[in-house]
Amino acid sequence: MQLRVCPLCVTVGLLSCTIPKAGAQQVFGSIFGNVTDAKAGVVPNAKVIITDLGKGAAFELTTDASGNYSKGQLIPDDYRVTIRATGIQEIVSTPLQVRVDEAIRFDARLVVGDITTEVEVSAAAPLLQSDRADVAQTFSAIEINDFPNIGRNLQAMELLNPGTAKAGFQHASDENPQGSVQMVINGQFFSAMGYELDGTTNQDPILGIIVINPNIDSVSEVKQANQNFDAEFSYVGGGLASYSTRSGTNQIHGDAFEYLQLNTPGFTTFAANPFVGLPAAEYRQNQFGGSIGGPIIKDKLFFFGDAQLNRQSQGASLLTSVPTALNRRGNFSDWLANNSNYQIYDPHSGDPATGIGRSPYRNNTIPASQLSPQAQELLKNFPLPNTHQIAGQPFVENYALNGALAITGNAWDTREDYYLNKNNTIFGRYSYQGFTLQGPGAFGLLAGGPAFGTYAGDAVALNQSVAVGWATSLSPTLINEFRFGWMKYHVFDIPNGYGTDPATKAGIPGLNLDKTYTSGMPFFDISAPNSAYQLGYALGVNGCNCPLTQTEKQIQFVDNVSISRGKHNLKFGADLRYAQNLRVPSGLHRWRAIICRWGDRQRTCAGPGPHARYRTRHLPAGRCDDVPALRERQDNRVRKPAPLLLVWAGHMASLAEVDAHPRHALGNDLPRIRERRRKRCDIQPEQWADVRVRRGWSFTARDPSPELA
């Protein structure tokens, strides 16, 4: 299936509110307040200086006729507010911590006195958040680093928020190597969650996962809002997680780290599996990296960079079922002794039209003359049993072993901040995250089978993100904020044994049709007591949605304008996004698999099986009914039928038409898509009519500012 989507989305928001004068900001924070004299009279035209303590940048403004002041578009950091007026003592605040999308209030009461006298005033957090209506929680950089976090998965920390729970369904690791946790927010489905990185989108719209899962050392804070979002977040239905990256200061600062998780040989012996006699599987994860930031031009231009590398061997133990030596010779007497429902019948006996009167095989054994050579070839991929779990059932969970999934991750970020002048602030950031996953199946690289842990196959992923922001004060009451974002999510997943044709060599046509997208071991799923016999690679056997390719690109333009009028602030803006997404999944190895299920008389076989065709007296001998996994490709083009095999029996039956000559959607079609539809997107046309406008209004009957002693 090809899915190529090119939507153009425009969102326009309009918001009117009382002070604070700086409205909601996805990248910046703000400071506001009110200045009065000793008799609680307003003090207009007082000089207010707001200084970034880390970068040395200072912003000057004056109070209005009502004694109010406000400064938005402040990069998250510690700030100091200084207030001066003629004939009045100078007021200096203690350090104020500014956070993204939050407004810090600092009110001052001036006292007549020596203007050379400086009075330091501590700013206390208000007991009630009166400047906004959202329900949110913010984690600072200190809190993020202090919390225990095995694996250093920053996005998973959102589970600490009230109303948040891990969803029962989690995406396959080959499509989500960054480790995004699907979660339910206030009962909303995980795809209703929104992710922003420095004010730009950071989410794959199909899977609903975060694209750049930031390094812990790279962020200054994370804010998750669960209710009453601002108008500019209208696309969110559940929760909104906003990540803000760190910036440099006038001081050079950095860190280095290494985290090593390793179960030593002593532990593997102590934690050995007492039921199968295997030692604990080896587990090793080594995460190392660091960060550094500082000035390029003092008080003007700053840099920050970080890197994190991951080298992991994710060991696991596996217990599954394989055919016994007797079963491989057609002898299923042990199955029948365990359960009478496992009786096998001779399909060549009885009425050939109705199947009535079929004879059971003696000793529940299929004669050697009726065994399929194709089945015998496939059986060579299964090892012999090496353990016996249940007395009287040597065919149940009889194979145990240890293995590991190898994971590598390379992630780094760089950010630059430029204070052009007191009215213009510019920042830029680039993030890179690359991953590889490689793991064998239980029966080796070529044969595949159940996975050690969550995945078997060979996957490569590359995620990237760019954000640029420019905030400019056009006047004391007019501020414009512009942002540009670019994001790319790419994953390419193939089975081990890519380029081989084991099904063709076994004599089974219609499965390995080329050396690329239908190559490797197809998915064979054969019902057996307790657990199935499984070969190959597919989403259902080892988490390998292969072969798979997905490339998503998204460009975003955001512009917000804030206008102050007395005690009111008017904010409006637009969010323009253009997205392209090509996703070609497999699920069942490019829609080719042979699945055999034990069922009733109407649904008995979906491909080759040990004896599912022979378990009833009443099924016509030449008929096999259910083929859920083998169906026509979704491009609705009929191809030459290819015969499928009943691999434990010695005859062939044409079960379904299979696309024997698939269109190579991952390769040759891409140039034709671009050439054929320059003005439209493949499959889904562009939609230009989806324009949404949201307006909000809030009103406060009186000034909620606290009285200062």
* pLDDT computed for residue 707 by the predictor: 38
pLDDT of residue 647: 33
Check: pTM over 0.85? Answer yes or no. Answer: no
3-state secondary structure of 435: strand
The reported pLDDT for the residue numbered 37 is 85
Which of the pair, 505 or 668, is modelled with greater confidence?
505
For the cut 70, the answer to whether the pLDDT of residue 412 exceeds it is: yes
Q: What is the pLDDT of residues 455-502, one digit of tens each?
A: 999 999 999 999 999 999 888 788 899 999 999 999 999 999 999 999
With a CB cutoff of 8 Å and minimum separation 6, the contacts of 455 are: 172, 173, 174, 405, 437, 439, 542, 543, 544
pLDDT score of 353:
79
Look at 292 and 453; give whichever has higher pLDDT. Answer: 292
Contact present, 660 and 643 (Cβ < 8 Å): no
Residue 407 has pLDDT above 70, yes or no: yes
Query: Is the CB of residue 325 less than 8 Å from the CB of residue 394?
Result: no
Q: In angstroms, rounded to a whole number, what is the distance separating the alpha carbons of residues 638 and 33? A: 71
Model confidence band, residue 692 (pLDDT cutoffs 50, 70, 90) = low
Long-range contacts of 346-349 (CB under 8 A, 24+ apart): 346/614, 347/613, 347/614, 347/621, 347/649, 348/621
Tokens of 169: 């369904």
Q: What is the pLDDT of residue 589?
A: 59
> Is a pLDDT exceeding 80 seen at residue 162?
yes
What pLDDT is attached to residue 193?
84
**pLDDT per residue as tens digits for the range 196-238:** 999 899 998 888 899 999 999 999 989 888 777 777 777 777 7
Among 185, 277, 253, CA closest to 224: 185
pLDDT value at position 526? 85
- pLDDT reported for residue 483: 94
Pairwise CA distance, residues 353 & 618, whole Å? 10
Span 55-87, pLDDT tens digits? 888 888 888 888 888 888 888 888 999 998 877
How many Å apart are CA 267 and CA 180, to the nearest integer? 30
What is the distance, to the nearest Å, from the Cα of residue 209 to the centroid of all Cα atoms in its chain?
Answer: 3
Split at pLDDT 50, 70, 90, the class of 129 is low
Higher pLDDT among residues 218 and 191, named by residue: 218
Distance CA 509, CA 109 (A): 87
Residue 600 has pLDDT above 50, yes or no: no
> Is the separation of the CB atoms in 293 and 254 below 8 Å?
yes
Q: Report pLDDT for 629.
A: 28
Residue 580 burial by CB count (10 A; 0-12/13-18/19+): exposed, middle or buried? middle
In this structure, of 15-19, 86-90, 139-143, 623-627, the range with the lowest mean pLDDT score is 623-627
Minimum mean pLDDT among 128-132, 385-389, 452-456, 584-588: which range? 128-132
At 122 the pLDDT is 63
Q: Is the peptide bond before 20 cis (omega within 30 degrees of 0)?
A: yes
Q: How many beta carbons lie within 10 A of that of residue 380, not counting itself?
A: 11
Which of 10-24, 205-219, 287-301 shows the lowest per-residue confidence on average (mean pLDDT)? Answer: 10-24
- Does residue 133 or residue 14 have the better pLDDT? 133
**Is the separation of the CB atoms in 615 and 648 below 8 Å?**
no
Using an 8 Å Cβ cutoff, are 368 and 329 in contact? Answer: yes
- Return d(Cα 82, Cα 80) in angstroms, integer: 7
Residue 541 has pLDDT above 70, yes or no: yes
322 pLDDT band, cuts 50/70/90, is very high
Residue 530 in tokens: 């307790």
CB-CB contact of 363 with 330 (8 Å): no
Q: Which residues contact 65 (CB under 8 A, 6 or more apart)?
A: 42, 44, 566
Residue with tokens 């050579």: 373
Q: Please determine, for residue 195, whether its predicted confidence score (pLDDT) is greater than 60.
A: yes
Amino acid at 604: T
pLDDT at 179 over 70: yes
521-540 average pLDDT score: 86
Contact 429, 486 (CB under 8 A): no
pLDDT band at residue 596 using 50, 70 and 90 as cut-offs: confident
| pLDDT, greater one: 658 or 697 | 697
Pick 627 or 436 by higher pLDDT.
436
Residues whose CB falls within 8 Å of the CB of residue 83, separated by 6 or more in sequence, listed in order? 35, 46, 47, 48, 49, 90, 91, 92, 108, 110
Q: Judge whether residue 41 has pLDDT over 70.
A: yes
Q: What is the pLDDT of residue 30?
A: 85
Least confident of 428-442, 521-535, 623-637: 623-637
Share of the chain above pLDDT 90, in %: 30
- What is d(CA 275, CA 591) in angstroms, rounded to the nearest whole number? 38
Asked if the model's pLDDT at residue 556 lies above 80, the reply is yes
Asked whether residue 608 carries a pLDDT value surpassing 80, the answer given is no
> What does the mean pLDDT of the chain come to?
77
Q: Is there a contact between 25 and 99 (Cβ–Cβ < 8 Å)?
A: no
Residue with token string 């299920």: 597
Radius of gyration of the chain measured on its C-alpha atoms: 33
* Measured distance CA(380)–CA(118) in Å, rounded: 87
Domains of the chain: 24-121 (2.60.40.10), 137-320+400-496+537-584 (2.170.130.10)
- Tell me: pLDDT of 445 over 80: yes
Token pair of 53 as six digits = 């303590």
Q: What three-state secondary structure class fits 205?
A: coil
- pLDDT for 636: 29
Confidence at residue 659, expressed as pLDDT on a 0 to 100 scale:
31
Tell whether the model's pLDDT for residue 702 goes beyond 70: no
Q: What are phi and psi of 165, to 5 degrees?
A: -145, 150
Q: Give me the count of residues in the chain.
A: 709
Q: Which helix (H) or strand (E) holds 269?
A: helix 265-270
Please determine, for residue 121, whether its predicted confidence score (pLDDT) is greater than 90.
no
Mean pLDDT, range 20-26, rounded to an integer: 50
Residue 12 has pLDDT above 60, yes or no: no
Residue 187, exposed/middle/buried by CB under 10 A (0-12, 13-18, 19+)?
A: exposed
Of the chain, the percentage scoring pLDDT greater than 70 comes to: 74
Q: What is the pLDDT of residue 384?
A: 95
